[in-house]
Structure 1
Amino acid sequence: MAGALPNLVVIGAMKCGTTSLHHYLDAHPEIAMSRPKELNFFFGPADAAGADGCGSDVGCGSDVGWARGNWHRGVPWYCGHFDPAATLRGEASPGYTSPSHPEVAARMAALIPDARLVYAVRDPVERAVSQYLHHRRDGAETRDPGEALLDPGSQYVARGRYFERLAPFLATGAFDGRITVVAREQLADAPRTTLRRLYAELGVDDDHWSPDLEQRRNESVETPPELPDRLLRRLRAAFADDAERLREFAGQDLPRWSV
């Protein structure tokens, strides 16, 4: 079997700087990250027909098919994206902590139980608004913020309840002591300190640094809508208990968060 299984996975979350984090990890000489970044391997049905409706890999490379998951492509396909010579080899798929994919944690625990996991997070209110703006730009969201953000079917809140999304991984018992939480605000405010901590926890040289590690990737300039105070209070209340549990788990204050 060509390639090798990864021993490092960035598991989420959407709109939390995973593209920059993928780049920062890949820039370390002891780490080789996959290309493309988001392999979306651990979710989706077991057969190609169920994944994208076309019945084979021929002509099935659409973004829609890819976003539905690549589990059906099999372990050899997945291994082919990683350098077996690298000390750490990894990928970053924010969809792994989506509420839509509850199968991910068990599949990951069965296939790569010794992997290190990195969980990218962000102020959950800002993350929800960023996802809302993302869907407004691509035409998938037409509602105003007041109607959309608190709709349980939208996942704007669910994806930002980070500890809740992490619970299936903790329940497997496979990744105890090998999950690192990295907040987008930490990378923005203190990139060198944050990356040094991350590299140290991953067991690679934490003295590595280059100016390239200060560049942000794939982060659009957003003009967030003015949210009514009542909506902001409801959003903060929706995240408050979960944010506190994440702080306790991560052992970090996350002081720039609004909850």
Structure 2
Amino acid sequence: MPAALPTLLVVGAMKCGTSALHDLLDRHPDVAMAPGKELNFFFGPDHPPHEDPEEWWRDGQWHRGLEWYAGCFDAAATVRGESSPGYTDPSHPEAPSRIHAVLPDVRLVYLVRDPFERALSQWRHHVRDGTEPRPAELALLDPASQYVDRSRYHERIAPYLDLFAREQLHVVVQERLRDHTDREVRGVLAHAGADPGRWEPVGPSTPAGPTTTDDVPPGLRARFAGRVADDVAALRALLDDPLEEWGSVPAGRTAGVAG
């Protein structure tokens, strides 16, 4: 097996700060993250999906093989990592078992965010790129879409917990990464096996400017929260953390619910 395979995978979630964390980790002298994001190696078909290699990452690059994958990493680095939120995409259930078969000792990082804010950010992204014509209320509550499913974080990481030891998974709360960047990055570095003491502080991330809520109908936040409340309760139990930053699903709603 190639020697330069990754030791760290950031597996999601979409719209939770994976790009920011990828770039932050790459600043550490012991860490080499793969160039760019979303190698998407651990899902996709066994054969090229079409004739345009530049677009293969969209469908998954499993067909490229381990030699190609290993070539994406710096063999001399103490920690080698990549970030592919598609590894927790509900459309790619094969990813966890493939990762476990190839990288049974890998350290996993999963980012989470207020579930409604994550879904709203995903919807706005798709509206901008022209793939989502529906208003927020229709899209976010559509059971056939992924807006709810990708915000059910415990459900998304459960297949990993079935295969990997609990200590291999480190969960980062996006709101804390934004407000306490150095503390949260040091936590990830320690989890990954890099020296947190060699981290050069960057301070908190610059907060985004005011976000309009003109496209958010009254009551949508609460209705969306009802779709994820049980999952948030399970995540809170798993992490033993009230996740008080998440105003869309108040802790009091799910207190006492086992995960």
Take 2:11 and 2:92, find their aligned partners in 1: how far apart are those partners? 12
* Cα distance, 1:36 vs structure 2: 2.1
Point out which structure has higher relative CO (alpha carbons under 8 A, 6+ apart): 1
> What value does the CA root-mean-square deviation take over the aligned residues?
2.1
Structure 2's unaligned 5+ residue stretches are 250-259
One-letter amino acid of the structure 2 residue matched with residue 78 of structure 1: Y
Whether contact under 8 Å (1:247, 1:254) holds in the other structure is: yes
- Show the 5 A alignment for 1:184-223: 184-212=174-202, 214=204, 223=212
74-83 vs 205-214, which deviates more?
Answer: 205-214
1:227 counterpart = 2:216:
yes
The normalised TM-score by structure 1 is: 0.89
- Show the 5 A alignment for 1:1-259: 4-48=4-48, 51=49, 53-54=50-51, 59-62=52-55, 65-172=56-163, 174-212=164-202, 214=204, 223-258=212-247, 259=249
Whether contact under 8 Å (1:115, 1:175) holds in the other structure is: no
Whether contact under 8 Å (2:28, 2:198) holds in the other structure is: yes
Take 2:167 and 2:10, find their aligned partners in 1: how far apart are those partners? 15
Structure-2 change in CA distance of 1:34 and 1:142 (3 Å) = same
Whether contact under 8 Å (1:3, 1:82) holds in the other structure is: no
Structure-2 change in CA distance of 1:190 and 1:112 (3 Å) = same
* Cα distance, 1:222 vs structure 2: 5.2
One-letter amino acid of the structure 2 residue matched with residue 60 of structure 1: P
* Cα distance, 1:176 vs structure 2: 3.0
| 1:63-105 superposed Cα distances (whole Å, 9 cap, x missing partner) | xx32110001111000001111111101000111000000000
Take 1:188 and 1:237, find their aligned partners in 2: how far apart are those partners? 26
One-letter amino acid of the structure 2 residue matched with residue 139 of structure 1: G
* Cα distance, 1:211 vs structure 2: 4.8
Take 1:251 and 1:203, find their aligned partners in 2: how far apart are those partners? 23
Take 1:43 and 1:220, find their aligned partners in 2: how far apart are those partners? 36
- Equivalent pairs counted in the alignment come to 248
Structure-2 change in CA distance of 1:221 and 1:70 (3 Å) = farther
Structure-2 change in CA distance of 1:251 and 1:200 (3 Å) = farther
| 1:140-173 superposed Cα distances (whole Å, 9 cap, x missing partner) | 001111111111222000001000000111112x
Q: Percent identity?
A: 49
Take 2:147 and 2:205, find their aligned partners in 1: how far apart are those partners? 27
Structure 1's unaligned 5+ residue stretches are none
